[in-house]
Amino acid sequence: MNTTLDEWEVLEAVIQMGSFAAAAAKMNRSQSTISYAVSRLQEQFKIPLFELKGRKAQLTEAGKALLADVEPILAGFRALEQRASALGAGGKTEIRLSVDSIFPDRRLFAALADLTRSYPHVHLQLRQTMFLSSVHEFASSGADLCISGLPTREYFAKPILDIRMRAVARADHPLNRGTRQLTRMDLIQRLAVIIEGTGGPAPKQQPHSPLQQYLAVNTIDAAIEAVRSGICFGWLPVYRIASYIDSGELTGLRLAMGGERLVRFFLICKDVDSASAERNYLAALLGADREVETI
């Protein structure tokens, strides 16, 4: 028995396109060539791989089983061809990664450093922005992978990280005076810092009351410094302000509910089926194969 990858690709095309004629058009071949490749497969296996229902070609149960087994091989071979082509063209394979700015830099760059050690030929393109939209990044920035807190049903999304956001103010801020629990009215009478971003077609902001007085900033660093200045309070990522909390400079607000929020981040892939070994490796480093963590 001596089948070829090309014959299996032809069978895959016939099933995907629904007919010999459509497969021939897709592969830029004659219909007789397509028919001959499928006939050779069936002759070697001595079993029918597909059947015609009306004008549409459908796999038999045996055909489904065999094609399911060979599809990972076809995908791997295509990925190999793509990498060889990229290496031949310029010695690099490019991966475009878009990451929400709240995602920890230490975790991000540790993964990128590991990737470059394992695949030194990879050329990385990194884009960071607040409230990143994967739909926008895939369509407008050509991203291969995204880390976003705004998942979409259109792409494969794997939750990888929960980030704690805590309501804090400087220790001497008016909201930290007294011992009673704070109310919604207490908050809306004071200035809050709100992080906003343009990681998509429309600006997005941290959730807040419509009546809240707020100061809008575009970076986490700016939000932290605004709170440290004493002019406002805000919900800030705990991992970024832990040292200020430990020193007593910043204090958590006394709220009955909502004093801490969890923001879930997802690793989102544009096209899982055509993923390269390099991209799969980076996805694993970023958390694709691990349980969701909380920081």
Q: What residues does each domain of the chain span?
A: 5-89, 92-295
Rounded to an integer, what distance in angstroms lies between the CA atom of residue 147 and that of residue 97?
A: 8
50 confidence band (pLDDT: 50, 70, 90):
confident
Q: Tell me what pLDDT residue 89 has.
A: 53
82 confidence band (pLDDT: 50, 70, 90):
low
The predicted model gives 145-157 an average pLDDT of: 84
Percentage of the chain with pLDDT > 90? 50
Residues 6+ apart with CB under 8 A from 13: 23, 26, 27, 34
Rounded to an integer, what distance in angstroms lies between the CA atom of residue 24 and that of residue 17?
A: 9
3-state DSSP call for residue 244? helix
- The rounded mean pLDDT for the chain is 88
Measure Cα distances from 162 to 59, 103, 213, 263, 295 in Å. Answer: 43, 10, 27, 5, 6
- Tell which CATH architecture fits domain 92-295: 3-Layer(aba) Sandwich (3.40)
Percentage of the chain with pLDDT > 70? 93
Measure Cα distances from 121 to 34, 54, 113, 237 in Å. Answer: 37, 50, 13, 35
- Maximum distance among all Cα pairs of the chain, rounded to whole angstroms: 86
Secondary structure letter of residue 28 according to DSSP: T
1 confidence band (pLDDT: 50, 70, 90):
low
> Alpha helices of 119-174 — where are they, by DSSP H?
134-140
Q: Tell me what pLDDT residue 243 has.
A: 97
The three-point CA angle 234-293-140 to 5° equals 70
Rounded to an integer, what distance in angstroms lies between the CA atom of residue 189 and that of residue 258?
A: 17
* Matching residue, tokens 């990143």: 132
Among 128-132, 221-225, 244-248, which stretch is predicted with the lowest mean pLDDT?
128-132
Q: Tell me what pLDDT residue 60 has.
A: 87
Secondary structure letter of residue 55 according to DSSP: T
* In contact, 169 and 227? CB cutoff 8 Å: yes
The predicted model gives 106-112 an average pLDDT of: 97
Rounded to an integer, what distance in angstroms lies between the CA atom of residue 281 and that of residue 165?
A: 29
Q: Tell me what pLDDT residue 91 has.
A: 46
Rounded to an integer, what distance in angstroms lies between the CA atom of residue 13 and that of residue 86?
A: 25
* Matching residue, tokens 């939750």: 159
**Does position 77 have pLDDT exceeding 90, yes or no?**
no
Q: Tell me what pLDDT residue 87 has.
A: 62
The predicted model gives 89-111 an average pLDDT of: 87
Residues 186-203: tens digit of each pLDDT: 999 999 999 998 666 667
44 confidence band (pLDDT: 50, 70, 90):
confident
Rounded to an integer, what distance in angstroms lies between the CA atom of residue 283 and that of residue 275?
A: 10
* Helix, strand, coil share (%) of the chain residues, nearest 5: 45, 25, 30
Q: Tell me what pLDDT residue 200 has.
A: 61
Q: Beta strand pairing status for 204-205 and 192-197?
A: antiparallel
Q: Beta strand pairing status for 156-170 and 250-252?
A: antiparallel
Whether domain 5-89 has CATH 1.10.10.10: yes
